[in-house]
Structure 1
Amino acid sequence: MRIVIAGGHGRIALRLERLLARRGDAVVGLVRRAEHAEDLRAAGAEPVVCDLEAAGVEEVARHLSGADAVVFAAGAGPGSGAARKDTVDRAAAVLLADAAERAGVRRFVVVSAMRADPEHPGDEVFDAYLRAKGAADADVLARAGLDATVLRPGLLTDDAGTGLVRLEASTGRGPVPRDDVAAVLVELLDTPATAGLTLELISGRVPVSVAVKGVAGN
């Protein structure tokens, strides 16, 4: 498969790129900064500089041309204010979805956040983040032109992955290694029957492939 990952220099994205490249997929990572290109190449991905806060839909669609799937793994990151939570975590996801539809790429996977909700109350930056993520999720899932899956991991850690997870519509809070998030994303990309689902992910006792097959069969 040819897979394009927005936010290609993120800690989950780099892990995902390594997994996909290792099995022979063609992986493209969209990054804001040219200096991140070597890290993507080391992970086995082709870097493409594309700032989703500044690009238009036609430009992004060109980068998605010929892809089999798109992953939105971008985020404004810690230290950013409420305005960038909207321009990156919401608007960039919507732009990527617009571009995917324009390019004819149906499979679309979003890395979201637990408790994301467009109506989430509160005035703190993290509240704005959850509203932005929730609004993006709702937008993407509502599109008839996309086969979209939303993944909402729990507390992300850099612990070594175990390959054992809990993946359900609602899991409750808990930690999950980024390694395991990347492994679940690979399985989701291979499982179009998960389209339309919003799934929460934490560490658990079920092997990743079994967990994904389980939700796909519901």
Structure 2
Amino acid sequence: MCAVSLAGSKVCIGREGSIARGRLHHWHHRRHRWSAGTETALSGRRRVWARSPGRAAGRTRRAGCEARVGDLAGMTVEELAAVSGDVDVIVFSAGSNGGSKEVTKAIDGDGVVKAMKAAGLAGVERFVLVSVLPESWRERNLGDEVEYYFAVKKGADVAVSRSDLNWLIVRPSLLLDGPGSGTVSLGPAELHGEITRDDVAATLAELLHEPRIDRQILELNSGSTPIEEAVRANVRG
């Protein structure tokens, strides 16, 4: 599990994978390309939580973050709230990726509920959940564990959408490795396809800095619209 507090304003809970690494890169890049006034508002402490400090140390130093060690499954609500009290938003992108039912329940199900309770306890109103497109892999013969994974992810979406938090659910298509294109298709309903983890991370970075997008479910696929433009197109009102 990793949790990121960027400039004292964000905590991210997610696996030590490509999206987590991408978030560090894109948030670090975005912080340095903003205007001086905005950058001043984002100055401060940055924290990264990871299961193993060795894996996190290099990339967190490059992003100007402080590495700490923690495990979502083993942390209590109170412990998670303690590292979330000085932030504006919690981003949950952890997932078992269709592993054992026990891990799926602990991370994709109970973990989301735990993070929401921690947000409430810490007074953090904004909560972003990275979920999955319901149509993913429907053309395949899925085993019981993967079917269970999709059911738990759906249940987590429902729990978040019924909460009192200022929530946002992002459902990316099938995740690919490799460099991002910088263009996507983002909206309330998208066809299931594939998208690079790098483009997902870049889209999250833009969404997190657009407070006018809230209490929405957005699906994310590869596309031809520049990411900043795609995010702005989903601002309501």
Normalising to structure 1: TM-score of the pair? 0.89
Q: How far off is 1:42 after superposition? A: 3.9
Computing the radius of gyration from Cα coordinates, the structure with the larger value is 2
| Matched ranges for 1:129-168 at <5 A | 129-144=149-164, 146-168=165-187
Aligned with 1:70: secondary structure?
A: strand
- Please tell me the residue identity of whatever aligns with 1:19: H
Structure-2 residue corresponding to 1:89: 108
- The secondary structure found in structure 2 opposite 1:172 is coil
Q: CA RMSD in A?
A: 2.1
Alignment gaps of 5+ in structure 1: 117-121
Give distance in 2, aligned partners of 1:150 and 1:87.
19
Write the deviation string for residues 31-55 of structure 1: whole angstroms up to 9, x where unpaired: 2233333144245233232211111
User: Equivalent of 2:91, from 71, 74, 99?
Assistant: 71
Fraction of identical pairs, as percent: 32
Establish whether residue 203 from structure 1 lines up as the match of residue 222 from structure 2.
yes
Judged with a 3 Å threshold, the aligned counterparts in structure 2 of structure 1 residues 208 and 114 are, in CA distance, closer, same or farther, namely same
- Contact 1:70 1:107 (C-alpha < 8 Å) held by counterparts: yes
* TM superposition shift of 1:112: 0.6
Structure 2 residue aligned with 1:38: 57
Equivalent residues, number: 212
Aligned 1:108-187 pairs, distance under 5 A: 108-115=127-134, 124-144=144-164, 146-187=165-206
The residue aligned with 1:15 is 22
- Alignment-mate amino acid for residue 120 of structure 2: E
- Relative to 1, partners in 2 of residues 1:94 and 1:40: Cα closer, same or farther, differing over 3 Å? farther
Separation in 2, partners of 1:70, 1:134: 19
Q: 3-state DSSP class of the match of 1:64?
A: coil
Is residue 102 of structure 1 aligned with residue 121 of structure 2?
yes
**What is the letter of the counterpart of residue 192 of structure 1?**
P
Q: For the residues of structure 2 that align with 1:90 and 1:204, how far apart are their CA atoms?
A: 30
1:119 aligns with none
Distance 1:10 1:206 in 2: 25
How far the C-alpha of 1:123 sits from its partner, in A, is 6.1
2:209 is aligned with 1:190: yes
d(CA) in 2 for partners of 1:129 and 1:32? 22
For 1:16, the aligned partner's letter is R
Which residue identity does 2:153 align to in structure 1? K
SS across alignment from 1:105: coil
> Secondary structure at 2:185's aligned position in 1?
strand
TM-score under structure 2 normalisation?
Answer: 0.82
Distance in 2, Cα, partners of 1:47 & 1:172: 37
Unaligned runs of 5+ in 2: 1-6, 33-41, 136-141
Residue 173 of structure 2 contacts residue 220 of structure 2 at CA under 8 Å; is this kept in 1?
yes
**Is 1:50 paired with 2:70?**
yes
Where does structure 1 differ by over 3 angstroms across 4 or more consecutive aligned residues?
24-27
Q: CA deviation at 1:169?
A: 1.2
